[in-house]
Amino acid sequence: MGKVVEIATRIKTRAPMVVYASAKVSFDHGIGDDSRGRIKGDRQVTVMTKESWNAVCSDLGRKLHWTTRRANIMIEGIDLKESTGLILKIGEFYLEITGELVPCKRMDDQFEGLTNALKSDWRGGVTCKILSEGIVRENDKVVVMERE
């Protein structure tokens, strides 16, 4: 079992990430009012792990704030590698993992070398589709489940 470490959103593409202690999770807006949260395919919410981010920072030789990756939820205690199709139960809501969050060249705009550091072992995190609405809070329990 894992837990939510932090939550972040942005109001528009390329806008700075804003960190929250809690946020609404909705079909229409994703996490809070995140610009990528509207239903457009299978990428409403992005989730990454603290363990992967720490490995990335170690490889880069520099401690960067996790929002540099521009993900919505940071969790710990769960391995997301090869998890497509699994369900994340976070608190009382559910997300379906739809695939690996592949890092783009824009990550190097954040910090040189970040794109390559994120590429191995799904370190960039996962994309998710919202299956049920709710509230996400820091320290919420996170459980990985098989799709029924």
List pLDDT tens digits, range 76-122.
999 999 999 999 999 999 999 999 998 888 898 889 999 999 999 99
DSSP track, 93-120: EEEEEEEE-PPPTHHHHHSTTHHHHHHG
The answer to whether the CB of 118 falls within 8 A of the CB of 82 is no
List pLDDT tens digits, range 59-79.
999 999 999 999 999 999 999
**Domain residue limits at 78:** 2-145
Rounded to two decimals, what is the model's pTM? 0.94
Measure the CA–CA gap between 20 and 73, rounded to whole angstroms: 10
Tell me the pairing of strands 141-145 and 30-31.
Answer: unpaired
Show Cβ contacts of residue 89 under 8 Å, excluding neighbours closer than 6 positions. Answer: 141, 142, 143, 144, 145
CATH number, position 24: 2.40.33.20
How many structural domains comprise the chain?
Answer: 1
Show Cβ contacts of residue 21 under 8 Å, excluding neighbours closer than 6 positions. Answer: 7, 137, 138
List pLDDT tens digits, range 43-60.
799 999 999 999 999 999
